[in-house]
Amino acid sequence: MSAKLIDGKAFAAELRARVAATAAELKAAHGITPGLAVVLVGEDPASAVYVRNKNKAAREAGFRSFDIRHPDTLSKDALLGQIAKLNADVSVNGILVQMPLPKQINPARIIAAIDPLKDVDGLHPVNAGRLMSGENGMNHGLVACTPFGCMMLIKDALGENLSGMNAIVIGRSNLVGKPVAQLLLQENCTVTMAHSRTKDLPALCRRADILVAAIGRAEMVRGDWIKQGATIIDVGINRIEGADGSVRLRGDVAFAEAEQIAGAITPVPGGVGPMTIACLMRNTLVASALQAGLDQPKI
């Protein structure tokens, strides 16, 4: 029997619709229109596409959209000055600096300069620390968008109660691996963090009720690594060039093998990817409410 396909594209569309509806209610009740500023430094083609999609999603949600572009020669101090202006601008509720940045700019320094209340990427050390302490999570605060989206898809597949389930997270990045592990811990899962130095990774994976793959290696997780009926969240997006020059997208999980064993699985594309922008819109709405001293919207 094939696994249930977790349709991230459809879920993201529903989430974005809820965000737009809640934003309209916020404006009607309090006169607040969320504002999202996306800063792009340089002309990386992939980054330009991501920025365009984020700005489009913001406008569709009824937000103010601030599209800020700089050449790749921009200095660190100039970018810090730009962020300081956005921090002080009350019409801007969310600030996102598109990565990667040019080599002369340290991304950690830039992330740390963003007001934590406007850090809609959820990567500021304050927000990361609040997640670690349990203060931030699924129902409060700003959490990194991709991990938040992963958790929404997991709960959609398995229900709200994940208590006692075994979960494995393959990959220990600050962007996905570490925060998604913290969110799973908050749901009372027993979490294993795996990485490039992990011994006997297949055996560990076979014990997991929930497997999150975020390693950036195409089809590394094979079908025989997976526990019967497990829920698989594939965060990987790997571009594989064929002999004819065509490019195919592949996840970190061997999908054709895994879907014969898993209970539910995200495809690539159309799984986790669409959730990232949807959760960015959710975070921007939450940030605008919190900055106005309102309760966090339930979305």
In this prediction, residues 232-244 reach a mean pLDDT of: 90
H/E element holding 192? strand 190-194
In order of their start, the domains of the chain are 30-118 (3.40.50.10860), 144-274 (3.40.50.720)
How many CA atoms lie within 13 Å of 151's alpha carbon, on the beta-carbon side? Answer: 25
Residue showing tokens 């699985």: 265
At residue 243 the predicted structure's pLDDT band, cuts being 50, 70 and 90, is confident
Beta carbons within 8 Å of 292's beta carbon, 6+ residues apart: 30, 32
At residue 1 the predicted structure's pLDDT band, cuts being 50, 70 and 90, is low
Q: State yes or no: pLDDT of 196 exceeds 90.
A: no
* Residue 165, pLDDT score: 98
% pLDDT > 70, the chain: 100
Q: Identify the DSSP state of 167.
A: E
Q: What is the pLDDT of residues 22-54, one digit of tens each?
A: 999 999 999 999 999 999 999 999 899 999 999
Q: State yes or no: pLDDT of 94 exceeds 80.
A: yes
Mean of pLDDT over the chain: 96
CA distance 69 to 243: 36
Q: What is the pLDDT of residues 120-178, one digit of tens each?
A: 999 999 999 999 999 999 989 999 999 999 999 999 999 999 999 999 999 999 999 99
Q: State yes or no: pLDDT of 246 exceeds 90.
A: no
Beta carbons within 8 Å of 191's beta carbon, 6+ residues apart: 167, 168, 169, 181, 184, 185
Catalytic residues: 54, 98, 121
